[in-house]
């Protein structure tokens, strides 16, 4: 296998949180104190997967979940996967290559295999067009008539 360029041998991780924030600008210097930043670092570290995770105390508006059904998985900014809301890492332009790249990175760095397998499972879930919406939200949207659930028919 050819050597991968080290500057591209990483996957993005992070967290979205909320909290108090303070900053002081003095010329070209910037001092920041932020509860949200501290919480984001702790959350990102505790989750340990290649994703930008949304903190549990942040309520994702229904329009994002509904958008998943109206425009498809590639158009929605947030997904729910393995009990976590995450920023959608995929778009139409590079969805296909993301799986190939993660497989290449896993082969080049087997010590991080579990992280790549997590990402590849997410990639597969998107490819299979799974709901990727929190079950309680999906149930509520269906019961309120906001979306209509039509089970897929088996292929003959």
Instruction: Find the largest Cα–Cα distance for the chain.
Output: 69
Residue 154: inside a domain, yes or no?
A: no
Half-sphere exposure of 58 toward its Cβ, with a 13 Å CA cutoff?
Answer: 18
Containing structural domain, residue 12: 6-143
- Looking at the whole model, is its pTM more than 0.95? no
Residue 114: inside a domain, yes or no?
A: yes
CA distance 41 to 56: 14
pLDDT tens-digit series, residues 51-105: 999 999 999 999 999 989 889 899 899 999 999 999 999 988 889 899 999 999 9
Q: Helix, strand, or coil here: 141?
A: helix
CA distance 131 to 72: 10
Q: What domain count does the chain have?
A: 1
CB 54 within 8 Å of CB 71: no
pLDDT tens-digit series, residues 123-149: 999 999 999 999 999 999 999 999 887
Residue 152: inside a domain, yes or no?
A: no
């Amino acid at each position: 296998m050819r050597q991968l360029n080290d500057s591209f041998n990483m996957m993005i991780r992070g967290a979205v949180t909320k909290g108090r924030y303070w900053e002081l600008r003095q010329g070209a210097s910037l001092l920041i104190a932020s509860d949200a930043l501290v919480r984001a670092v702790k959350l990102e570290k505790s989750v340990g997967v290649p994703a930008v995770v949304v903190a549990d105390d942040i309520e994702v508006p229904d329009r994002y979940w509904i958008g998943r059904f109206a425009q498809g998985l590639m158009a929605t900014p947030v997904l729910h996967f393995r009990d976590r809301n995450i920023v959608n890492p995929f778009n139409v332009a590079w969805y296909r290559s993301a799986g190939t790249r993660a497989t290449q990175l896993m082969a080049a760095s087997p010590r991080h295999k579990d992280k790549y397998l997590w990402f590849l499972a997410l990639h597969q879930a998107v490819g299979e067009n799974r709901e990727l919406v929190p079950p309680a939200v999906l149930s509520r949207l269906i019961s309120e008539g906001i979306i209509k659930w039509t089970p897929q028919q088996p292929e003959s």
